[in-house]
Amino acid sequence: MSLQPDPQNSTDLGPCPICGRPMHAGPTIDRHHWTPKSQGGTETQWLHRVCHRMIHRLFDEATLARDFDQPEKLTRHPDMIKFIKWVRKKPADYIDWPENSGRYGRKRSNRR
């Protein structure tokens, strides 16, 4: 069950629960499981893709399930506070990575 409307049915999805910037349907948003699927989670919520990726860059699934299963808990973490301060200066449609980044942030075929 989703906590936010399907982006196919609405273009304005309200504020991101992490950074507070407005969310609009399209490639700049992702669904996030507050309790990871591997830990039995089913509830999802829309986040900016850049916010979602930062969460998974900082925390493994066990830590997310144990300590950060709500946006309020995540936004109090010192690394997330720094990230939120930085990302709030970006436009709502900001994407930090290429759409098909591949492993290590770039396509492996381009690595030498």
Which one, of 37, 26, 32, 40, lies nearest residue 4 by Cα?
32
72-81 CB contacts, 8 Å cutoff, 24+ apart:
74/18, 75/18, 80/18, 80/54, 80/55
What integer pLDDT is reported at residue 1 of this predicted model? 41
Give, for all 112 residues of the chain, the pLDDT tens digit.
Answer: 444 445 455 678 899 999 999 999 999 999 999 999 988 889 999 999 999 999 999 998 999 999 999 999 999 999 999 999 999 999 988 887 644 444 333 344 444 4
Token pair, residue 34, equals 């507050």
